[in-house]
Amino acid sequence: MKVIIPAVLLTMVSMVAGSLTFSQDSGGSVIQWDPIESTYESLIIRCSKTVCEEEEPDWGVVLATVYPDSSGGFPVSVQIPGAFVVDPEKCIACGVCINRCPTDAITEDTDGKAVINPDLCIACGICANVCPVGAIFSPSSDLYYGLFGVNEEGVEEFIQGSVK
Residue 27 falls within a domain, yes or no?
yes
Q: Is 37 contained in some domain?
A: yes
Whole-model pTM? 0.75
Which 3 state secondary structure label does DSSP give 131? coil
Residue 12 lies in a domain: no
Query: What pLDDT, on the 0 to 100 scale, is given for residue 53?
Result: 67
Domain presence at residue 9: no
Beta carbons within 8 Å of 5's beta carbon, 6+ residues apart = none
Q: What is the DSSP code (8-state) at residue 28?
A: E
CATH code of residue 66: 3.30.70.20
Q: Is there a domain that residue 13 lies in?
A: no
Note down pLDDT in tens along the chain; length 164 residues. Answer: 333 333 333 333 333 345 788 887 766 788 999 888 778 999 999 888 888 766 676 788 888 899 998 888 899 999 887 789 999 889 999 999 999 999 999 999 999 999 999 889 999 999 999 999 999 998 888 888 889 999 999 988 888 887 66
Question: What pLDDT does 144 receive?
Answer: 87
74 within domain boundaries? yes
Backbone angles phi, psi at 15, to 5 degrees: -70, -40
The Cα 45–Cα 14 span in angstroms is 17
Range of the domain at 127: 18-161
Domain count along the chain: 1
Residue 62 located in a structural domain: yes
Name the pairing type of β-strands 77-81 and 28-32: antiparallel
Residue 41 lies in a domain: yes
Distance from the first to the final alpha carbon of the chain:
23
For residue 17, the model assigns a pLDDT of 42
